[in-house]
């Protein structure tokens, strides 16, 4: 629904527009009067004093309107606006009747001026009011001509030569009828235009209200700014966040109007970004609480590509942040607590397995072997959890040096051998260039990444298959691939494959153990090396992972 405020503001704006229009009209009429007088071609009867009155009166009342309407629209009462709207038309009609009278009455073409009040009425009044106004206008004009004809009032001739119109009953009647009919038709046309204007206004209001309703019902704060950074719209969540209440739209948000702790968020809101900018994180402290706010900045572009405004989306991520921190803390504490007893278990199993704690039967040895392997898997998961909490806290250490991945790949293949043999899988290396290029890398982390991919390829392949690792140069980057002909990744799950804890449903059936943490860590490592990772996969046909890294400039 259009608010009362909107209607009031619209009316004030229309009135201001009409007043400006009237200033132009007054200047135009003044110039016309001066030219006519100087050129001495007409208006011979218009005395300088009359001319001055006709010129001064509208200046006075238009000045009064201007002064009144200079006040901010919320300070103008609806009653005052109604009176002003009425006067806009009524005073002009009376004034123009006088102009017509003094510029020749029936001979005058001043009736053209009557169109100005009709125009004003078109935007200010309803249909019935426009027609009433036209009838009133016709009455003024007819009265003037009748009084003049009947010599109740003296006739001011327009031309020095008698053009035989005044006093000629037939011509006067014809003239008056024509003018009156034109006035009536114009009013009818105005009604028609008025309806179109109102229809458009209605449609625009509905559209705007729809947008407002949607924006107001969003949980995120939305602020729309114009080219100069002035606020065009601000929904309630945005106001709540900035503690801005009451009628606000209009001004710019200035940093110094807010407490210091709001500076970051206000600057992010005011930033006139050329491109879309998502997830800019800022802290806001309102004295009681601290909020983590994400600010998205979306420029509204003109056809030439220049920003003409901005939509700013404020998203309160405090709760998510807190939950994330709690989760990370929990993982970190739990993993640290588990690591020591698990390491001890590993050692105990080894001692027992080796017979150092007394003789074990063949069956016991088998069980101890299984326990040892399972324990190792749990250690692996705990290590992954620790890596993840370090990654998320930004503490995952990197130690970059220059080198080739030759040695790393050799180590990985060596380490994968025993598990591969156990599963009857061949792991092959296809080096596609004589010399592998030098890259900047953390050897241990790159090894961890490639190892993870190779382990997965072995783990998710049926017996007898081959896993191939290749290394070469493509598009001036080092390209490493790890491919298998295993179970593949179902199409509908491919998007989630790099997410934390995600495991494909076929992978879960194929191998019960697994944490879903490996690829998340791999992706992080690759990105830290300014590399890219992607894959191609078809369920039941196999998977190829691609890693590409920038080569050190020669």
Smallest gap, in angstroms, from Cβ of residue 497 to ligand ADP?
Answer: 5
* In the block, residue with structure tokens 């989306």: 313
Contact range with ligand ADP by CB under 6 A, out of 106-114, 184-192, 307-315, 451-459:
451-459
As beta bridge partners, residue 233 has 224
Contact range with ligand ADP by CB under 6 A, out of 61-69, 195-203, 243-251, 507-515:
507-515
Residue 50 vs 515, nearer CB to ligand ADP: 515
- Residue 299 in the binding site for ligand ADP (CB under 6 A): no
Smallest gap, in angstroms, from Cβ of residue 498 to ligand ADP?
Answer: 8
Residue 280 vs 539, nearer CB to ligand ADP: 539
Q: Give SS3 for 33.
A: helix
Q: Give SS3 for 545.
A: strand
Measure CA 162 to chain center. Answer: 70
- Residue 457 in the binding site for ligand ADP (CB under 6 A): yes
Residues 469-488 contacting ligand ADP, CB under 6 A: 484, 486-488
Q: What angle do CA 411, 459, 399 make, to 5 degrees?
A: 35
- In the list 237, 437, 514, 531, the residue contacting ligand ADP (rule: CB under 6 A) is 514
- In the list 124, 183, 480, 507, the residue contacting ligand ADP (rule: CB under 6 A) is 507
Residue 122 vs 481, nearer CB to ligand ADP: 481
Measure CA 71 to chain center. Answer: 33
Give the DSSP letter string of 328-379.
HHHHHHHHHHHHHHHHHHHHHHHHHHTTTTS---HHHHHHHHHHHHHHHHHH
Please say whether the beta carbons of 549 and 478 come within 8 A. yes
Residue 265 vs 517, nearer CB to ligand ADP: 517
Residue 514 vs 531, nearer CB to ligand ADP: 514
Please say whether the beta carbons of 498 and 523 come within 8 A. yes
Smallest gap, in angstroms, from Cβ of residue 544 to ligand ADP?
Answer: 9
Smallest gap, in angstroms, from Cβ of residue 519 to ligand ADP?
Answer: 4
Smallest gap, in angstroms, from Cβ of residue 326 to ligand ADP?
Answer: 23
Q: How far apart are CA 478 and CA 433, in angstroms?
A: 10
Q: How far apart are CA 519 and CA 502, in angstroms?
A: 9
- In the list 503, 528, 536, 551, the residue contacting ligand ADP (rule: CB under 6 A) is 503
**Residues sharing a CB contact under 8 Å with residue 400, sequence separation 6 or more, in sequence order:** 440, 441, 442
- Residue 519 in the binding site for ligand ADP (CB under 6 A): yes
**Could you tell me the two tokens for 349?**
């199993």
- Residue 489 in the binding site for ligand ADP (CB under 6 A): yes
* In the block, residue with structure tokens 């879903």: 516
- In the list 85, 97, 543, 548, the residue contacting ligand ADP (rule: CB under 6 A) is 543
Residue 347 vs 501, nearer CB to ligand ADP: 501
Residue 58 vs 514, nearer CB to ligand ADP: 514
**Residues sharing a CB contact under 8 Å with residue 169, sequence separation 6 or more, in sequence order:** 149
For residue 252, the 8-state DSSP code is: B
- Residue 460 in the binding site for ligand ADP (CB under 6 A): yes
- Residue 456 in the binding site for ligand ADP (CB under 6 A): yes
How many CB atoms lie under 10 A from the CB of residue 102?
20
Q: How far apart are CA 312 and CA 282, in angstroms?
A: 13
- Residue 516 in the binding site for ligand ADP (CB under 6 A): yes
How many residues belong to the chain?
554
Q: How far apart are CA 515 and CA 493, in angstroms?
A: 16
Smallest gap, in angstroms, from Cβ of residue 407 to ligand ADP?
Answer: 23
Residues 185-204: x where in contact with ligand ADP by CB under 6 A, - otherwise, as a string: --------------------
* In the block, residue with structure tokens 């704006």: 13
Contact range with ligand ADP by CB under 6 A, out of 221-229, 264-272, 370-378, 500-508:
500-508
- Residue 518 in the binding site for ligand ADP (CB under 6 A): yes
- Residue 526 in the binding site for ligand ADP (CB under 6 A): no
**Could you tell me the two tokens for 196?**
């179109």
* In the block, residue with structure tokens 């309102």: 286
Smallest gap, in angstroms, from Cβ of residue 392 to ligand ADP?
Answer: 16
Contact range with ligand ADP by CB under 6 A, out of 47-55, 91-99, 143-151, 511-519:
511-519
Q: How far apart are CA 388 and CA 386, in angstroms?
A: 5
- Residue 423 in the binding site for ligand ADP (CB under 6 A): no
**Could you tell me the two tokens for 60?**
């006075």
Residues 216-275 contacting ligand ADP, CB under 6 A: none
Smallest gap, in angstroms, from Cβ of residue 220 to ligand ADP?
Answer: 32
- Residue 544 in the binding site for ligand ADP (CB under 6 A): no
**Could you tell me the two tokens for 481?**
């691939």
Q: How far apart are CA 518 and CA 410, in angstroms?
A: 20
State the chain's maximal CA–CA distance in angstroms. 143
Binding site for ligand ADP (CB under 6 A): 452, 456-457, 460, 484, 486-489, 497, 502-504, 507, 514-519, 543
């Amino acid at each position: 629904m259009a608010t009362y405020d909107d209607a009031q503001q619209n009316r004030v704006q229309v009135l201001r527009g009409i007043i400006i229009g009237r200033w132009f009209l007054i200047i135009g009429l003044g110039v016309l009067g001066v030219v006519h007088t100087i050129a001495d071609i007409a208006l011979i009867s218009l005395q300088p004093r009359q001319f001055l009155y006709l010129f001064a009166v509208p200046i006075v009342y238009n000045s009064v309107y201007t002064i009144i309407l200079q006040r901010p629209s919320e300070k103008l009462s609806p009653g005052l606006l109604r009176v002003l709207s009425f006067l806009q038309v009524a005073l002009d009609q009376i004034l123009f009747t006088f102009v017509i009278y003094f510029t020749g009455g029936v001979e005058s073409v001043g009736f053209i001026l009557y169109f100005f009040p009709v125009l004003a009425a078109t935007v200010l009044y309803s249909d019935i009011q426009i027609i009433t106004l036209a009838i009133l206008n016709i009455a003024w004009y007819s009265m003037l001509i009748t009084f003049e004809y009947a010599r109740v009032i003296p006739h001011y001739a327009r031309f020095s030569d008698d053009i035989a119109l005044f006093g000629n009953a037939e011509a006067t009647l014809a003239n008056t009828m024509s003018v009156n009919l034109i006035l009536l038709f114009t009013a009818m046309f105005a009604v028609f235009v008025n309806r179109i204007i109102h229809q458009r206004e209605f449609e625009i209001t509905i559209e705007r209200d729809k947008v407002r309703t949607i924006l107001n019902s969003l949980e995120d704060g939305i602020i729309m700014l114009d080219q100069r950074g002035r606020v065009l719209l601000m929904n309630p969540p945005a106001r709540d966040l900035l503690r801005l209440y009451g009628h606000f739209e209009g001004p710019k948000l200035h940093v110094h109007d807010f407490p210091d702790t709001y500076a970051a968020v206000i600057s992010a809101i005011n930033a006139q970004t050329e491109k879309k900018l998502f997830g800019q994180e800022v802290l806001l402290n309102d004295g009681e609480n601290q909020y983590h706010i994400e600010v998205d900045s979306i420029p509204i572009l003109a056809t030439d590509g220049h920003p003409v405004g901005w939509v700013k989306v404020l998203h309160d991520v405090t709760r998510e942040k807190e939950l994330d921190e709690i989760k990370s803390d929990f993982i970190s504490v739990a993993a640290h607590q588990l690591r020591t007893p698990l390491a001890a278990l590993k050692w105990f199993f080894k001692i027992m397995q080796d017979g150092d704690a007394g003789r074990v039967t063949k069956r016991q040895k088998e069980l101890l072997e299984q326990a040892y392997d399972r324990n190792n898997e749990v250690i692996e998961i705990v290590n992954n959890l620790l890596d993840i909490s370090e990654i998320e806290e930004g503490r995952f250490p990197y130690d970059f040096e220059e080198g080739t991945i030759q040695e790393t790949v050799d180590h990985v293949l060596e380490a994968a051998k025993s598990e591969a043999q156990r599963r009857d899988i061949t792991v092959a290396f296809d080096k596609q260039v004589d010399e592998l290029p030098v890259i900047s890398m953390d050897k241990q982390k790159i090894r961890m990444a490639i190892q993870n991919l190779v382990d997965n390829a072995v783990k998710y392949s049926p017996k007898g298959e081959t896993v191939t690792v290749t290394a070469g140069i493509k598009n001036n980057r080092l390209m490493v691939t790890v491919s298998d002909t295993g179970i593949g990744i179902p199409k509908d799950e491919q998007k989630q494959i790099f997410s934390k804890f995600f495991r494909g449903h076929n992978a879960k059936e194929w191998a019960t153990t697994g944490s879903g943490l490996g690829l998340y860590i791999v992706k992080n490592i690759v990105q830290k090396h300014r590399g890219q990772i992607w894959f191609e996969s078809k369920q039941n046909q196999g998977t190829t992972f691609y890693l590409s890294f920038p080569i050190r400039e020669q």
